[in-house]
Amino acid sequence: MTTQEIMNQGEEYFLHTYNRYPVVLDHGDGVYLYDTEGKKYLDFCAGIAVFALGYNQPALNEAVKNQVDKIVHTSNYFYNEPSVEAARKLCQASGLEKVFFCNSGTEAIEGAMKSALRYAYNRDGQPGHEIIAMKHSFHGRSLGALSLTGNAHYQDPFKPLISGIHFAEYNNLESVKALINEKTCAIVLEPVQGEGGIYPATEEFLKGIRALCDEHDILMIADEIQCGMGRTGVMFACQRYGVKPDIMTVAKALGCGLPVGAFVTNEKAAALAPGDHGSTYGGNPLVCAAASKVFDLYEELNVLENVKTVGAYLYEKLEALKQECPQIVDHRGIGLMQGLEFSVPVGDIIKKAQDAGLILINAGTNILRFVPPLVITKSDVDAMMEILSPIIHEL
């Protein structure tokens, strides 16, 4: 099929829940993507923070291919070695004790919510517990995850949602304190808000949430789906300040392209019993072989050190661009998770960058989001700036 024929058939058969760009991607290599017409794109999106190791990573490909030839799926009535290995490495990386594998970040959030509610039920013997979430957060699009998402734009068409969710101001500890009552079972937050605009939590806020949870015997849930797996220069963003949540949700770069998510808990929060939760595909050998290899490659390739070095370089370049362009009103972020906030919508910038061979995405109407593969180099940052700077200066 021609490129146009592929797009036409996609429009005919897909449910229109995405506004897709008129590009048909064909393959990737390193930090570049190629479309069906042979055009090359420098990718600073990474499949929305998924392809941490870049495309066509030989060792990761080999691990997946080898597993395909052995066994792709078993039910969770049985053990399989890749899932055990991936669970061990995830626990070691997070400092937590128990793992449940699922298929996506949204499912990880659902499991985290159920764990918190089950913990409180076991504690009190009563249902009807409540959760505190953050305004401008994003946790997913299922009804449960949507109930935690502090943005009416996403929620309104699907109400009524799950009851008992209350929203505090991000980085405002007093607003959290004001919502705690005897029914509260958990506080959930992103250590760096992603879709909400690339807002990092302050050290005071994260440590304050941890202290509140300890004081009131409630669970701290950290959504590390986008900001975790090394994106901020440490394996998980909470670790920047030495904060350990009771439950952590992980996905995206965990599988570097394969659909795998997980929630990880400490012993205290490991409240779910047999029959409380499940997933047909969760923890299957194929995706766990990938996740296990991802942890190995992070160590072999010194990914965290690269994020610190190249992330600082990216910050320097974007900060200089901000000083040059009055339409850029803010620049924020950590490591290789950064954003430029504009006084105008960024849709045209993204389109012009794409035409010039650079893939970027937004976070809200007026924020450019930079979440490239974690293996990019300073030269890749320079190449990105060579494309982006002229486009922004045209503003």
Strands, sheet with 32-35, edge to edge from the N-terminal-most edge strand: 25-29, 32-35, 40-43, 358-359
- Dihedral sign for Cα atoms in the order 385, 388, 391, 395: negative
Q: Look up residue 199 and give its two tokens.
A: 């807002």
User: φ, ψ for residue 250 (rounded to 5)?
Assistant: -140, 145
Token pair recorded at residue 312: 């600082």
| Local structure of residue 30 (DSSP, 8 states) | B
Q: What letter would DSSP give residue 97? A: -
User: Any idea which residue has 């996506």 for tokens?
Assistant: 104
What is the C-alpha to C-alpha distance for residues 240 and 236, in angstroms, rounded to an integer?
Answer: 8
Which residue blocks in the chain are alpha helix, DSSP H? 3-13, 46-49, 58-68, 81-94, 105-124, 143-148, 152-155, 173-177, 203-216, 285-300, 303-324, 347-355, 378-393
Q: Is 252 tagged catalytic?
A: yes
- C-alpha–C-alpha distance, residues 94 and 83, integer Å: 16
Neighbour count for residue 317 (Cβ, 10 Å): 17
Which residue is catalytic, options 252, 293, 308, 322?
252
- The tokens for 46 are 């990474």
Q: How far apart are CA 26 and CA 33, in angstroms?
A: 8
Three-state SS at 3? helix
- Can 138 be counted among the known catalytic residues? yes
**Given the residues 138, 167, 205, 236, the one annotated as active site:** 138
Q: How far apart are CA 27 and CA 276, in angstroms?
A: 40
What separation in angstroms does the CA of 146 have from each of 152, 156, 370?
10, 10, 24
Q: Of 101, 205, 223, 370, which residue is the catalytic one? A: 223
Active site residue 223: yes
Phi and psi at residue 208, in whole multiples of 5°? -65, -40
CA distances (Å), origin 202, targets 80, 199, 207, 235, 333: 40, 9, 9, 18, 12
Distance CA 293, CA 89 (A): 10
Active site residues: 138, 223, 252
